[in-house]
Structure 1
């Protein structure tokens, strides 16, 4: 079996285990309850927390590293530092998953007739099951990333989104058949989804190529001739997970903390009403947050000073720009201009579902926003890795 075929087989096997887990309900539930309907069992399966606690923990660690230099230095200190970051992420995942699992277990045993034997043992067993499910998914995602094809975390998230699409499309067709929605509205959503896919593919593939000239140099006995190259800068260097995921936290976390401290006061209820999903104030604040976060995270992943120092160390110069600080300033200006375009793109794509809901044009089939970004970016990354593996192993270009 070729290396590419082996990796594809590992990836498919891991994703099949992921989907199989959604058909296994947590123990202790009554077989006569509605949970055992096929359309409801996934919500209370051993994988019902999915991989979101791990994703949340990874994002929190990344955010802390942006503002805490010691953690950022640890992340860049080599393999030992990366292993330490991985341990911190797993510890935080355990805490987040246990907290969520406790809330779910407590709520389940308060539903009459759902739990066979309510009590502490049921709560402990459910917590252990759900937390264990999260760590199984973490293991599967690492297995795919290291020995399969693609990014395991992104693939697991994408499969969850894609497998929900057939039911959403069927719901939309049923609404159309009943006359609850118009054909024009369905056509508008389909055209919008296709246009968004095209936009995401174009922007995520776009690069600003900065010309670089390398002078002749000698390394040991080897002489390198002068050559021209380019320094590619992505239009969207910030990616999509950090800005799109964290932006709503900036609104929701202060509201949750205020509710915990002050209780349900009239002014807090009014704040919830004004800042609820798809409200104009929510759309405006999240737009600003996504835009700012795109710049913050781009500054973290794209350091003009480090890039300028690397170019100078390897004898590279940008034509017409002096090495050192002048090169760093030049790269900073280019990165800032491209980030403006990338940030506007992220704001537009991520907020389309909220705008549709506010305008009354949303449907059960609504492939847009963060879900579209995750799926399309995952497919692009998967295509690149398959192509690279195919070329490395002497296969045909895909």
Structure 2
């Protein structure tokens, strides 16, 4: 990885792209220190320390939520809008045609995603401002609306930053912003760990165990993310005029984890919804029941979390990967899996293999989500550096390095015309 970065730095165009990306990240980090006026951040920090979802949300925003800055919503409304648009391209035939129509169709879907981001950001900002109205110094209608508009504008600006990185920088812009937010929290987590050890809340052994487990999870995530099952594919020879085409052997790569961190986000969002309702009515019997039997560190919560993650892994894998389309394309271009008849038998075979891989990926994601909670419970550390955050950070780093390698190959390639 370091050799790739070293070689990329010596290519002028790539160096400019890297510097532009770093500049946009600096703008993001600078904005993460501009506070929203009229908010008591001490109350917000207390709420962040009391809930897993808010702690996870604060990690994704790079600490912007606990400090309640203009980027407190982070870029999560854009991620939600992207997922919704992706699902709607399957449900709405006209949108599916746009997705297959090339560059123009993708531009229209991207525009819909932008509109959806602003709408979702405003809705989320309104609900968040109302739910946190106890932290507003003067909770008038004008002040609440001003705070909601400020948060919405912050998300829209982050969306613009991400698109600028896509166009002029390196890597996926939205992913780079999330990555920068997660990485920026690591120094503060080391400081917090030191403070826990110094205060006697946890021991040096407990702190060491936590970070060793985190390192092991990073290695496991890299291994599973790169893991794939390669199904051999043979293309029959065919004659077109006087030329012979085909006859080569290749493979169909099926990833062990084709869904990324999406199932974890879905599961956490669903499980935290009733808890957030309870947070709005802290003195009610419903809040007492949820805090007693459904707290984020409890056995019931984490069992349901693991079950939902496995379910959403199968669900989202079925959305992003269609074995019937793959089988049809193989048949169309004269490809076949040795020992399997083209058409439906091929589709059934790919589905069988995919189900096994998705089960492994789903169980792995469930362990990634649950293990940090168990370790924090045992060691007494309250860092909220969740498995999803590790999964996102590692995935973005690997994708960025692959893009740099592709850029180097494209610029250093010497063809047969030399």
Q: TM-score range, shorter-chain basis?
A: 0.7 to 0.9
* 1:369 and 2:379 aligned: no
* Structure 1 residues 277 and 220: alpha-carbon distance in aligned structure 2, compared to 1, 3 A threshold: farther
Aligned positions of 1:1-398 closer than 5 A: 2-26=12-36, 43-63=67-87, 68-70=91-93, 73-74=96-97, 76-78=99-101, 79-103=103-127, 114=137, 119-218=140-239, 223-240=244-261, 242-253=262-273, 266=285, 269-357=288-376, 359-365=377-383, 367-394=385-412
Deviations 1:50-76, CA, capped at 9 Å, x for gaps? 11222233334445556x354762563
Distance 1:109 1:321 in 2: 62
Is 272-281 or 307-316 further displaced after alignment? 272-281
SS in 2 for 1:46: coil
* Structure 1 residues 231 and 109: alpha-carbon distance in aligned structure 2, compared to 1, 3 A threshold: closer
Deviations 1:146-201, CA, capped at 9 Å, x for gaps? 33211211211111111111011012112223333211101211210111011000
SS in 1 for 2:412: coil
Shift of the alpha carbon at 1:243? 0.2
* Structure 1 residues 334 and 273: alpha-carbon distance in aligned structure 2, compared to 1, 3 A threshold: same
Shift of the alpha carbon at 1:111? 5.4
Q: CA RMSD in A?
A: 3.3
- 2:46 corresponds in structure 1 to none
Is 16-25 or 249-258 further displaced after alignment? 249-258
Shift of the alpha carbon at 1:220? 7.0
* Structure 1 residues 342 and 108: alpha-carbon distance in aligned structure 2, compared to 1, 3 A threshold: closer
Contact 2:85 2:113 in 1 (8 A): yes
SS in 1 for 2:359: helix
Shift of the alpha carbon at 1:305? 0.9
Distance 1:277 1:216 in 2: 58
Q: Which segments of 5 or more consecutive residues in structure 1 lack a partner in the other structure? A: none
Deviations 1:280-319, CA, capped at 9 Å, x for gaps? 1111111111001111111122211111111111111111
SS in 2 for 1:231: strand
Contact 2:175 2:396 in 1 (8 A): yes
Shift of the alpha carbon at 1:219? 5.6
Deviations 1:331-384, CA, capped at 9 Å, x for gaps? 111111111111111110022232234x33242456441110010011111111
Contact 2:196 2:381 in 1 (8 A): no
Is 80-89 or 10-19 further displaced after alignment? 80-89
TM-score for the superposition, normalised by structure 1: 0.85
Distance 2:207 2:365 in 1: 24
